[in-house]
Amino acid sequence: MAKPNLELPLGHSAVPRGCIATVVTSLQMTTKQQPRSVAKFPPSYELAEFDRSDLSGYRALFRKVGQDWLWHSRLTMSDNELRRIVSDPLDEIYTLRHAGADVGLLELDFRKPGECELAFFGLVSAEIGQGLGRTLMTEAIQRAWAKPIRRFWVHTCTLDHPGALEFYVRSGFRPYAFQVEVQPDPRLTGLLPRHAAPHVPLIEPDR
């Protein structure tokens, strides 16, 4: 067996203070998976298209769903950068609403021909564990494969919910690649509050 071409050395690599490191797993689905059950959202919940013109509302929902998992990629973008993505008709954005409040985010990115990326998928913490994620994933699979795609893919990381990777595998995605990502801790740059994601140690940079 040939030795792998390593960009990172074997063993431990130091992460600069003030930064976070995560292992990213990419997964894909190359044929449509049939849902285990035809679940529907409870009557008080509805999946609706998000208002693309509402950039502040989008950022608020992104933060609301992702803060506990240190999502911050869309928070670093300028209005013009973000508008270019969310105003593209090939980027589909849905919100799960309950009692007039946005409690979930589903974003499907069809901008690359023949593919769909499950760009963002999640629920606010209070809604996790009620089976809503399974129904939301069923919706995601149905909507993705309603288009002429050859591949539906997603990535998750070790900063996400501890059950995320298993959930994606049970949904029919198969892992195909690992990456290591190092980036500034968004709690130290002011993008997210310092109390976010208490499961991830906050290590101050050297003074």
pLDDT at 69: 96
With respect to residue 40, please indicate whether it lies within any of the assigned structural domains.
yes
- DSSP letter string, 97-114: EETTEEEEEEEEE--STT
Q: Which two tokens stand for residue 109?
A: 């990115």
Residues in the chain: 207
Strands 151-157 and 115-123: parallel
pLDDT at 57: 96
Any alpha helices (H) in the chain, and if so which ranges? 55-66, 79-86, 132-145, 164-170, 186-189
pLDDT at 3: 56
CATH number for the domain including 101? 3.40.630.30
Q: Output DSSP code: residue 50.
A: -
With respect to residue 165, please indicate whether it lies within any of the assigned structural domains.
no
Which residues on neighbouring strands pair with residue 180, listed in sequence order? 23
CA–CA gap between residue 150 and residue 116 (Å, rounded)? 8
pLDDT at 38: 65
pLDDT at 123: 97
With respect to residue 159, please indicate whether it lies within any of the assigned structural domains.
no
Please name the residues in contact with 205: beta carbons below 8 A apart, sequence gap of 6 or more: 16, 17, 18, 188
Low-confidence ranges of the chain (pLDDT < 70): 1-6, 35-38
With respect to residue 73, please indicate whether it lies within any of the assigned structural domains.
yes
Please name the residues in contact with 69: beta carbons below 8 A apart, sequence gap of 6 or more: 122, 159, 160, 161, 197
- Measure the CA dihedral 182/183/186/187, to 10°: 50
CA–CA gap between residue 164 and residue 162 (Å, rounded)? 6
With respect to residue 5, please indicate whether it lies within any of the assigned structural domains.
no
pLDDT at 39: 75
With respect to residue 182, please indicate whether it lies within any of the assigned structural domains.
no
With respect to residue 69, please indicate whether it lies within any of the assigned structural domains.
yes
With respect to residue 123, please indicate whether it lies within any of the assigned structural domains.
yes
Residue 49's domain spans which residues? Answer: 28-149
Distances (CA, A) of 65 to 61, 128, 179: 6, 11, 23
Give me the number of domains the chain comprises. 1
Distances (CA, A) of 179 to 25, 136, 156, 176: 7, 27, 10, 11
User: Tens digit of pLDDT for each residue in 76-126?
Assistant: 999 999 999 999 999 999 999 999 899 999 999 999 999 999 999 999 999
Q: How many CB atoms lie within 10 A of CB 198?
A: 9
Sheet of 115-123, strands arranged across = 45-49, 91-98, 101-109, 115-123, 151-157, 19-29, 174-184
